[in-house]
């Protein structure tokens, strides 16, 4: 299958999975468990949606690997791996805020974000009625419109960020926000990293930064940003919570230098 065909499959599955998530949300949400901390929740729908995605891939791409938030990793034999977050923005989902998404990426090579090459991606935000897609070399798209990151930020950058679930990390993350605000016109904390990155691709945000994301949070979004002409970097890879920065070239570079302590961004 070509990157375009894989992208079409990712989009089709993300659309179906998104509809299931939305339907379940309408029926009410039941909490299944808490994970790393009390704030880190999983709903019954997270599990059911991942199951649906996994079963569809098992039927349509039986030899491919899988890396999912809820059901873990399985190596494949084709060199391709599907990296899946069934519901990114679970806290929004549980609270009835529409900024949640199904994030599906297909990547080539070792199932390690530093080594894989993104092939295609789909991020479905069913409550918002939007489906973002990208395929390697073919650009990033929303409803037939080609996406492009922003180039100019004369009034400062509109940035997205997020915070981890562990309260012990909040002070450090807030100190980082203080530093990054020197280059910002304003800040958004939407609650789904996959949507944040889709918005960077769409030029709705100029840039994004967050520590401690998992591969399924950013795999699809990073493909979208790069295919929309932007850049994505992961920094401090040996740290417990590596930093991810994304944006158009200029914003990405300024974020990168502020985060690494080299400048205030002006």
**Phi and psi, residue 188, nearest 5°:** -120, 140
The yes or no reply on residue 50 touching ligand IPD (CB under 6 A) is no
The yes or no reply on residue 227 touching Ca ion (CB under 5 A) is no
- d(Cα 12, Cα 18) in Å, to the nearest integer? 10
The yes or no reply on residue 162 touching ligand IPD (CB under 6 A) is yes
**CB distance 133 to 15 below 8 Å:** no
Write out the two tokens for 132.
Answer: 């973002």
Q: How far is the CB of 102 from Ca ion (least distance, A)?
A: 10
Q: How far is the CB of 48 from ligand IPD (least distance, A)?
A: 15
- d(Cα 133, Cα 1) in Å, to the nearest integer? 16
Q: Which does 8 bind (CB under 5 to 8 A by kind): Ca ion, ligand IPD, none?
A: none
Q: Which of 192, 200, 228, 246 is close enough to bind ligand IPD by CB under 6 A?
A: 192
- d(Cα 249, Cα 256) in Å, to the nearest integer? 10
Q: How far is the CB of 162 from ligand IPD (least distance, A)?
A: 2
- Name the closest residue to ligand IPD (Cβ): 162
Q: Where are the alpha helices (DSSP H) in the chain?
A: 3-27, 44-60, 90-95, 170-180, 193-201, 215-227, 249-259
**CB distance 105 to 223 below 8 Å:** yes
The yes or no reply on residue 133 touching ligand IPD (CB under 6 A) is no
- Helix H or strand E encompassing 85: strand 80-88
Q: How far is the CB of 156 from ligand IPD (least distance, A)?
A: 22
The yes or no reply on residue 43 touching ligand IPD (CB under 6 A) is no
- d(Cα 126, Cα 49) in Å, to the nearest integer? 13
- Measured N-to-C along each axis, helices 44-60 and 3-27 cross at an angle, to the nearest 10 degrees, of 150
Q: Which of 50, 85, 206, 227 is close enough to bind ligand IPD by CB under 6 A?
A: 85
The yes or no reply on residue 196 touching Ca ion (CB under 5 A) is no
Site map for Ca ion, 79-108, x if CB under 5 A? ------x--x--------------------
Closest CA to 106 of 130, 81, 129: 81
**Phi and psi, residue 22, nearest 5°:** -65, -40
Query: Within 55-84, which residues bind ligand IPD (CB under 6 A)?
Result: 69
Q: Which does 198 bind (CB under 5 to 8 A by kind): Ca ion, ligand IPD, none?
A: none
Site map for ligand IPD, 203-242, x if CB under 6 A? -------x--x---x-------------------------
Map residue 212 onto helix, strand or coil: coil
The yes or no reply on residue 193 touching ligand IPD (CB under 6 A) is yes
The contact set with ligand IPD (CB under 6 A) reads 69, 85, 88-91, 162-164, 191-193, 210, 213, 217
The contact set with Ca ion (CB under 5 A) reads 85, 88, 217
């Amino acid at each position: 299958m070509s990157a375009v065909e894989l992208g079409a499959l990712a989009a089709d599955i993300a659309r179906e999975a998104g509809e299931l998530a939305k339907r379940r949300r309408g029926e009410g949400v039941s909490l299944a468990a808490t994970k790393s901390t009390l704030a880190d929740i999983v709903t019954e729908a997270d599990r059911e949606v991942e199951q649906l995605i996994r079963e569809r891939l098992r039927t349509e791409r039986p030899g491919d690997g899988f890396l999912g938030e809820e059901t873990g990793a399985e190596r494949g034999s084709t060199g391709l791996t599907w990296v899946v977050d069934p519901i990114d923005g679970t806290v929004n989902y549980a609270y009835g805020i529409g900024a949640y998404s199904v994030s599906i990426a297909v990547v080539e090579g070792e199932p390690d974000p530093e080594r894989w090459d993104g092939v295609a991606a789909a991020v479905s935000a069913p409550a918002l009625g939007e489906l973002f897609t990208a395929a390697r070399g073919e650009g990033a798209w929303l409803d037939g419109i080609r996406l492009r990151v922003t180039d100019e930020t004369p009034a400062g950058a509109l940035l997205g960020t997020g915070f981890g679930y562990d309260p012990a990390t909040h002070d450090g993350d807030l100190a980082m926000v203080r530093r990054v605000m020197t280059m910002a016109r304003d800040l958004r904390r939407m609650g789904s990293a996959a949507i944040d990155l889709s918005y960077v691709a769409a030029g709705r945000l100029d840039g994004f930064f967050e520590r401690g994301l998992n591969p399924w949070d950013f795999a699809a979004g990073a493909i979208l940003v790069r295919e929309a002409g932007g850049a994505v970097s992961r920094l401090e890879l040996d740290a417990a919570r590596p930093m991810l920065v994304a944006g158009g070239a200029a914003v990405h570079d300024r974020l990168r230098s502020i985060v690494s302590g080299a400048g205030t961004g002006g």
